[in-house]
């Protein structure tokens, strides 16, 4: 439970108190309405989930999952989707949105525990309600059924384990998430920064072994490398490009030459990684070091990755917002909230009304959030708890714990 500043002049005290029954009812109503609406308007649990399920069904029928250019996952994801492929469509349309909403709630819960905030607190209940009702990517992810949700729950769980000294378990969690969808691959840099080589080995070996074994069962074992990887590197899918939020995709739509846009995105990503390194090296006690370093690494990757969608933000935003009670958190910086303004549902922005233009709003959110996290890493001195070397020793003890 949060034990930081709870003075009457700080909102932290109010946020840390238990949520009332009405708040729980409202949360259940919002999540239930979102899942029920998705079940009504989709036939298979979501367009993106359907891509993976079709790949599994194709494999079960003797086909090649990589015949679909939009299947962008490792071979291990094919086998992971087989249970869904065996379920009727009527079941999928109900189960998938419920599971996605539940996993997003679980990820929020892990983020809260990382920051020492009770899940039943006002921040826990009202924060999840706000994400579901006021953060557009939350609803998009539930409706799409995208497997990004696995990363949204795996990252805070990984950081919670690492913060408690269980680094190998953290590496396994990242490895499993990457085996399902390679979105969390940049987090392996956290293990490098921390010098946790066994955790790094776990994060790499789990997806490598799982995908290698699964590839042997596919008609084209090298399909991911010969077809999917070139597709990702080219990024020349006209339909996908309209929804990408990375500067490399958005700037050319504003007239910037493609090589220049890609170069700027790469420089921004490199700067973000350097800032994340500085954040980690500051070595101040507490969970902010873990959350903000990981957020910096992921945002840097989103700046340069192709594709990069709005729902990727759910891997980072809840992790940052859960740290709101801490006066030094990024969530206390105005830039964090300015970045979220374009994601308010129902607000119509001139010239951005079309769905194909929402990428400009997403790029704004991604860019401002990345700059805010980077600025927090560079422009703020590390906190030192009272007691000098004794507290520093305890911090190092946590960092060097078993696992």
- pLDDT tens digits, one per residue of 154-190: 999 999 999 999 999 999 999 999 999 999 999 999 9
Cis bond upstream, residue 307 (ω within 30): yes
What pLDDT is attached to residue 121? 92
Whether residue 235 is predicted with pLDDT greater than 60 in this model: the reply is no
Rounded Cα distance between 383 and 392, Å, is: 11
pLDDT at 391: 35
Give the pLDDT band (50/70/90) at residue 5: very low
What values do phi and psi take at 121, rounded to 5?
-75, 170
Q: Which residue has the tokens 């859960």?
A: 322
Looking at residue 45, its pLDDT comes to 81
For residue 287, give the nearest of 297, 299, 277, 295 by alpha carbon: 295
CB count within 10 Å of CB 132 equals 20
Percentage of residues in the chain having pLDDT higher than 90:
70
Owner of token pair 């873990």: 290
C-alpha of 208 from chain center: 21
Other beta carbons less than 10 A from residue 360's beta carbon = 16
Could you tell me which residue, 344 or 69, shows the higher pLDDT?
A: 344
- 397: pLDDT strictly greater than 50: no
Interatomic CA distance for residues 18 and 144, integer angstroms: 33
pLDDT 10s digits, 179-224: 999 999 999 999 999 999 999 999 999 999 999 999 999 998 888 8
Longest Cα–Cα distance in the chain: 65
Tokens 């090296």 belong to which residue?
A: 281
Q: What contacts 24+ positions apart, CB below 8 Å, involve 83-90?
A: 84/45, 84/49, 84/52, 84/53, 84/56, 85/53, 85/56, 85/57, 85/60, 89/43, 89/44
User: Cα–Cα distance between 58 and 221 in angstroms, integer?
Assistant: 15
Residue 18's DSSP bridge partners are 121
Per-residue pLDDT, 117: 93
Q: What is the mean pLDDT of the chain?
A: 88
Above 90 in pLDDT, residue 307? Answer: no
- pLDDT of 392 > 90? The answer is no
- Residue 110 has what pLDDT? 97
Confidence of residue 238 (pLDDT cuts 50, 70, 90): low
Q: Which residue has the higher pLDDT, 9 or 160?
A: 160
- Asked whether residue 61 carries a pLDDT value surpassing 70, the answer given is yes
Distances 297 to 184, 276, 303, 308 between C-alpha atoms, Å: 10, 6, 10, 14
Identify the helix (H) or strand (E) that includes residue 193.
Answer: helix 188-194
- Separation CA 64–CA 84 (nearest Å): 17
Is 390's pLDDT higher than 60? Answer: no
**Looking at residues 385-389, what average pLDDT do you find?**
37
pLDDT mean over 345-374: 91
Give me the pLDDT at residue 227, please: 85
Q: Which tokens sit at 325?
A: 């009670």
Contact (Cβ atoms closer than 8 angstroms) between residue 368 and residue 334: no
CA–chain centroid gap for 264, Å, is: 23
Nearest one of 277, 271, 247 to 365, comparing CA atoms: 247
pLDDT, residue 380, reads: 60
Task: Please provide the distance, in angstroms rounded to a whole number, between the alpha carbons at the two ends of the chain.
Answer: 24
Q: Give the mean model confidence (pLDDT) for residues 144-162.
A: 96
Q: How confident is residue 47, by pLDDT bands cut at 50, 70 and 90?
A: confident
Q: How far apart are CA 147 and CA 125, in angstroms?
A: 24
**At a CB cut-off of 8 Å and minimum separation 6, what does 237 contact?**
69, 70, 231
Q: CA-to-CA distance for 226 and 224, rounded, in angstroms?
A: 6
pLDDT band at residue 306 using 50, 70 and 90 as cut-offs: confident
Angle between helices 197-215 and 167-180 (to 10 degrees): 30
């Amino acid at each position: 439970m949060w034990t930081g500043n709870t003075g009457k002049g700080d909102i932290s005290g109010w946020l840390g108190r238990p949520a009332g029954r009405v708040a729980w009812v409202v949360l259940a109503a919002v999540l239930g309405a979102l899942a029920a609406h998705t079940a009504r308007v989709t036939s298979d649990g979501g367009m993106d989930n359907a891509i993976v399920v079709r790949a599994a069904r194709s494999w079960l029928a003797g086909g090649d999952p990589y015949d679909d250019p939009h299947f962008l996952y490792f071979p291990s994801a094919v086998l992971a989707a087989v249970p869904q492929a065996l379920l009727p469509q009527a079941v999928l349309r109900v189960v998938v949105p419920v599971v996605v909403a539940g996993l997003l709630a679980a990820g929020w819960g892990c983020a809260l525990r990382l920051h020492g905030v009770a899940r039943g607190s006002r921040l826990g209940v009202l924060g999840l309600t706000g994400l579901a009702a006021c953060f557009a990517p939350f609803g998009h992810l539930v409706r799409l059924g995208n497997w990004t949700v696995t990363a949204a729950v795996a990252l805070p769980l990984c950081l919670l384990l690492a913060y408690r000294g269980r680094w190998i378990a953290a590496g396994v969690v990242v490895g499993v998430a990457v085996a399902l969808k390679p979105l969390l691959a940049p987090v392996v840099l956290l293990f490098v920064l921390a010098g946790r080589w066994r955790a790094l080995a776990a994060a790499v070996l789990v997806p490598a072994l799982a995908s290698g074994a699964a590839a042997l069962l596919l008609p084209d074992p090298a399909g991911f490398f010969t077809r999917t990887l070139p597709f990702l590197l080219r990024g020349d899918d006209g339909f996908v490009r309209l929804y990408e939020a990375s500067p490399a995709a958005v700037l050319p739509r504003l007239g910037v030459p493609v090589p220049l846009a890609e170069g700027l995105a790469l420089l921004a990503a490199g700067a973000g990684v350097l800032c994340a390194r500085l954040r980690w090296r500051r070595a101040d006690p507490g969970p902010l070091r873990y959350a903000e370093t990981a957020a910096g690494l992921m945002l840097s990757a989103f700046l340069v990755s192709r594709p990069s969608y709005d729902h990727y933000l759910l891997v980072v935003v809840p992790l940052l917002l859960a740290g709101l009670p801490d006066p030094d958190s990024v969530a206390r910086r105005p830039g964090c909230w300015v970045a979220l303004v374009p994601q308010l549902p129902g607000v119509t922005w001139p010239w951005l009304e079309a769905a194909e233009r929402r990428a400009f709003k997403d790029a704004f959110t991604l860019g401002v959030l990345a700059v805010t996290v980077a600025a927090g890493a560079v422009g703020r001195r590390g906190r030192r708890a009272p007691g000098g070397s004794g507290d520093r020793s305890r911090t190092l003890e946590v960092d060097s714990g078993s696992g």
